[in-house]
Amino acid sequence: MRFISTRGRAEPVGFVDALLAGLAEDGGLYAPVAWPHLQPETIAGFAGRPYAEVAAEILGLFTDGEIEPARLRAICEQAYGAFDHPAVAPLRQLAPGRFLLELFHGPTLAFKDVAMRVLGGLIEHALAARGRTATIVTATSGDTGGAAAAAFARMSGVRLIVLYPEGRVSDVQRRFMTATGADNVRCIAIDGDFDACQGILKSLFADHAFAAETGLAAVNSINFARIAAQCVYYFTAAVALGAPHRQVAFTVPTGNFGDAFAGWAARRMGLPIARLVAATNANDIIARALTEGVYRPGPAIATQSPAMDIQAASNFERLHFEYAGRDNLETAAAFAGFARSREIRLPDAMREALAELFEGRSVSPAATDEAMRRAWAETRVLVDPHTAVGLAAADAAAPLDPRIPMVVLATADPAKFPEAIAAAGLPSRILPEGLPGRLERIDFLPAKASAVKTYVRAWS
C-alpha cells in the first residue's frame, strides 16, 4: 500500500513513512493510492469478534505487510486492553432506531483514546525497528492532548509536546495532559485559540530542515493512521445493527473533521452508510461548507463543547481531494487559495455529490444544554456537551427511512465536563480517582511558531 499527498507534490510513501511523517512534504495530507474494498461477507464476518481482532484486520489492509500481522494484532490487543468495557466501543439504545456509540471507555474518557492507543503502539514499534527517536508535537482543542499524553507517557525514544489554547479547555481535559508526571511529556498553553495552535503545528512541519533536525512526528488526525483506526468502530457498530444487510446512519460531533472523514472512509471501503450528519457547535465552518458550499472560517467562539471550537478543519482537505476526483492539482490550488483569501468555494458538482451522503447541522449553546437535559429526562443517560451536539443534530436532520437506525457518536464521558453539566442543571459524574490532586506541569508561550521552535530545539 502506497500513500500519496492530497497536493500531489510529494513522492508516494509506504505506511510506516506516512505514519512517522504525519504531514506530507508538500503540506498535503496522506491518503491511500487506492482505498481497499471489503466484500459483504467479510464485513458480516466481523460480527461477534473481539474489537482488537477486527481492528488488526482493518489496519492490516493499510499496513500491507510492513508490520507483521502477529505484531499488529499484539499492538491492538495491548491498546484496547486498557479500556474499561470489553466491547471497547459499545452501543447503547436510547429509543427505537436511535443509538449512542460510546467511544469514551479509554484511559482519558474520550474517543481520541480509540485511535491514539493504537497509534502509540505503531509509532513505538516503527521507531524501534528503525533505531530512531522522535519529537512528537500535537495541537489539541482538549481531548487529543490527554489521549496522546496517556499513550506516550514514559515511552522510550519519544518526546511529546502538546500545544493547547490557554483557557479554552475544561479543567479535567487540561489535567489529563498536564498531570501525567512523565518526564517525556511537556504541555504548552498557547495565548490563542485552537486554530492558532494548529497553524503553528503545520508551520513546524512545513519547515523541512527544522522537522528533520528535531525528528518531528505528528499524532493529530492529520496522521492517516488515526483515520484508519477510527474507521474500525463504524464497522463494528454497523455490523452489530445488521450491516452489511442493513444500512446504518451516523451523526458525528465534529471539529477537525477526522472522525467524520473516517465514516466516509468506512463507506468507501464497502460499509453501507446511508447518511453522515456532521454536527458542529456554533463554530460551524463544516456545517456551512456542506449546506452553503463555501468553506470560510468565522471567529472562533468559546462554547461548552470546547473540543469542537475549531474554524479550520484539517481533514476537510482529504474530503475535498476525494470529491475533486482525487485531482491533487485542484486540491492544491484550492488550499493555496484558502491560505491567501481564507475561503474555498466548492464547485456545484462537488457540493451536489457531498449532499448525497453528508448533511451539515450547527447546534447553538442553548440547544446543546437542552439536548443534555432532554437525554437525562427521557432516558436517564447523562451525556457530555459534545455528544449533546450530536443528539440535537440528529433530531434536526432530514428524516430517513425508519428502518435505518441512527447512531450518534458519544465522544466523551460527561465527567470530563463538570462545569457544563452543572450549568445545564444536571447531576455531576465522579471525576477519575486521583485526578484533581495530581501536580500539573505547564509552560506558557505566545501564539508564534518561532517561540515554539525555540522551545522544541531547547528540549530536543
**Catalytically annotated residues:** 112
d(CA 360, CA 353): 14
Q: Which amino acid is at 222?
A: I
Question: Do residues 20 and 126 lie in contact, with contact meaning Cβ atoms separated by under 8 Å?
Answer: yes
Q: Which of 436, 416, 460, 428 has the alpha carbon at shortest distance from 145?
A: 416
**Given the C-alpha cell 492530497, which residue does it identify?**
6
Please report how the helices 51-63 and 224-240 are oriented relative to each other, as an axis angle in degrees rounded to 10: 140
With the CA atoms of 333, 337, 343 and 349 taken in that order, what torsion angle do they form, in degrees rounded to the nearest 10? -20
Count of alpha carbons within 13 angstroms of residue 43, beta-carbon side: 29
Grid coordinates representing 183? 518526564
Task: Give every CB contact of residue 104 below 8 A, 6+ residues apart in sequence.
Answer: 110, 111, 113, 384, 410, 411, 412, 413
Grid coordinates representing 332? 492544491
From the CB of residue 50, how many other CB atoms can be counted at a distance below 10 Å?
15
- CA distances from residue 77 to 71, 114, 268 in whole angstroms, order as listed: 10, 12, 26
Question: Do residues 258 and 310 lie in contact, with contact meaning Cβ atoms separated by under 8 Å?
Answer: no
Check residue 386 and report its DSSP letter.
H
d(CA 169, CA 417): 9
Looking only at the bridges linking them, the beta strands covering 294-295 and 344-345 are: antiparallel
Q: Which of 173, 165, 169, 168 has the alpha carbon at shortest distance from 189?
A: 165
CA 440 to chain centre: 25
Residue-wise over 125-140: b if at least 16 C-beta within 10 A, else e? bbbeeeeeebbbbbbb
Grid coordinates representing 410? 458519544
d(CA 109, CA 107): 6
Q: Which residues pair with 206 in a beta bridge?
A: none
Question: Do residues 43 and 243 lie in contact, with contact meaning Cβ atoms separated by under 8 Å?
Answer: yes
**Given the C-alpha cell 491511500, which residue does it identify?**
32
